[in-house]
Structure formats: C-alpha cells, structure tokens
Amino acid sequence: MAQIIGVGIATLDIINSVDGYPAEDAEVRALSQRICRGGNATNTLVVLSQLGHHCQWAGVLSDEPDGQRIIDDLKQYQIDATLCRVVKGGKVPTSYITLNQKNGSRTIIHHRDLPEFSFDHFSQINLSSCDWLHFEGRNIRETEKMLAHIAANSPDLPCSLEIEKVRPGIRALFKYVGALLFSKNYVLEHEDSDGVDGTVNFLQTLHREFPDKQIICTWGEDGAYGIDHHGIVYHAPPSPPANVIDTLAAGDTFNAAVIDSLIKGQSTEEAIKNGCRIAGQKCGHVGLGFISQS
C-alpha cells in the first residue's frame, strides 16, 4: 500500500450531544459527552490507515497533556507523528461541538493557540519514499510554498487538496495538485443554485480552467459529484446506514476513500462511489474506528 503524508491540523474535540439545539441564553442538559481527537487532515489519515496505507502526519502540537493525548490516539491507528513540530506553551486547537440528535446538525466553536505548520519545517521532510501528499486548504501562504517546492523538486509526486472553506488566496493552490476535493459549502459560496445545475456548472467551469485535474465535491445526503479529465460529470448516490448515528468527520472519511481509490488507479466515477460508500459506513458508527468494527 501507499506511503501517505497528510499536512494539516489535529484538534481536541469536545462533543456534546443534545436533544435539539438550545435557544440563546438557555441552559440544557447534554445527552452525552465525548472527548476525542479531531482535525480534517488527521481524520483523513486515520481512515486511510484503516484502509491499509502507511500514514504520517505533519502538523503542530503543544507540549501539554492534550498534545500527548492526540499523539497516543494517532498511534492507536499506526499513524507516524514524528514529522510533527512540538512547541512549548500554547494549547492544542480545541473544537467545542454541539451535536443535535434530532437532525444531525453540528455547531462548532473553534479556538486555537498554536502556529500553523510552516514551509521551513516542511522543507526538511524527505519525500523520496512518499507516494501521495494530502493537504488541508488552510495556511494559504505557507501551503503554496510547500506545493511549489514539491512541483520544483518532486514533480511526479501526486497531491490532493481539501477545499472546505472560502479563504483568501486559496485558488492559487489549485494549479499545484492533481485532485481537488471540495466541500458543499465551498461550492454554494460560488453558485447561485444549490441544486444539480449549480454543482455541474461549478465543476465544468473549473474543469475548463484546470482540465488536467480530478475535481470532486461531496454533497452530503445527496451523495457526491465529480468531473474527470475528459469533462464528463458523474454523480454518486449517498449510501446511508440503516441508522445514522454520527456524521462528524463524514467528509474527511469521504476524502480518504476517494484518495484510496485514486491511488489504486480507479476512475473518478469509481472514486466518488467508494467515497459515498465508506462515508455512509462511517455514519453508522460513533467515531472513526468503524472499519474494524464492520
């Protein structure tokens, strides 16, 4: 299987499940609470590791108990964190998540007190044995330096980029990677229509500008869309479990399954079908240790 490096953040997630989202200034009792590791890049690596790949995480942690908690969790999934930069002081990025059991919505308040992973640290990584690099679309200025470094020194190394949020300058990253993985929210920020027509228009417009890219967007309960090198648009239907239990990190799971398919040389159509299948599988389980449970 492939050697994969993921660049992005790890967080401490504090998840409160409630029976309906509270009104402002209300006091409600949580149905349950769990504390776990989160962060888009590390979530994606956890799934990729369970799919048989060897994964390394490049990011930043603080030298405090929650930082060690994250490292211990990654070790549980055989993820190598030796590329991580550990800083003195500060606090692990923390997400306070309210999970509405009635409709599955998740409201997140995020706090971070650490620097982002820098190009200076990335440039010290030996990429000679790496088969795939996955980046979160954040920390734009430094990430562009990293991608330009790869283009100059390892031009044949496949890269994917997750584009979850609209961030200033993020389009400058698109030209460097082979696979662009968009969120529904990002697409909706750029299209007047939230239906099929708007999605297809987004994919076709981007394909005209970047015809050599795999361009994919997850669409939640409506499945996913993708466009291949030939400009053919595909739709994959959702694959929900009998009982939806936990949707948190379903998008990160989808991205992992797509990357797994692309590494195996599968088509865009096969990749988004695989993404929907495994993301649906995840939604039937709490957390990300679902593959071994199924």
Let me know whether 88 and 125 are in one domain: yes
Let me know whether 205 and 74 are in one domain: no
Mean pLDDT of 239-247: 88
Q: Give the mean pLDDT of the chain.
A: 94
Total of domains in the chain: 2
Residue 147 lies in a domain: yes
In degrees and rounded to multiples of 5, residue 58 shows phi and psi of -115, 115
Let me know whether 269 and 129 are in one domain: no
Residue 8 lies in a domain: yes
pLDDT band at 195 (very low <50, low <70, confident <90, very high): low
Mean pLDDT of 98-118: 90
Residue 89 lies in a domain: yes
Burial of residue 11 (number of CB atoms within 10 Å: 0-12, 13-18, 19+): buried
Residue 294 has pLDDT above 60, yes or no: no
Pick the last residue of a domain from 107, 131, 161: 161
Residue 49 lies in a domain: yes
Let me know whether 198 and 114 are in one domain: no
Let me know whether 188 and 286 are in one domain: yes
The reported pLDDT for the residue numbered 48 is: 98
Contact in structure between 225 and 272 (CB atoms under 8 Å): yes
The reported pLDDT for the residue numbered 123 is: 98
Let me know whether 7 and 117 are in one domain: yes
CATH code, domain carrying 240: 3.40.1190.20
Tell me which residue range forms the domain holding 54.
1-21+32-161
Let me know whether 226 and 186 are in one domain: yes
Residue 173 lies in a domain: no
Let me know whether 148 and 223 are in one domain: no
Kindly report the pTM of this predicted structure.
0.95
60 Cβ partners below 8 Å, 6+ apart?
A: 9, 84, 85, 86, 87, 114, 115, 116, 117
Pick the last residue of a domain from 161, 195, 225: 161
Mean pLDDT of 68-72: 96
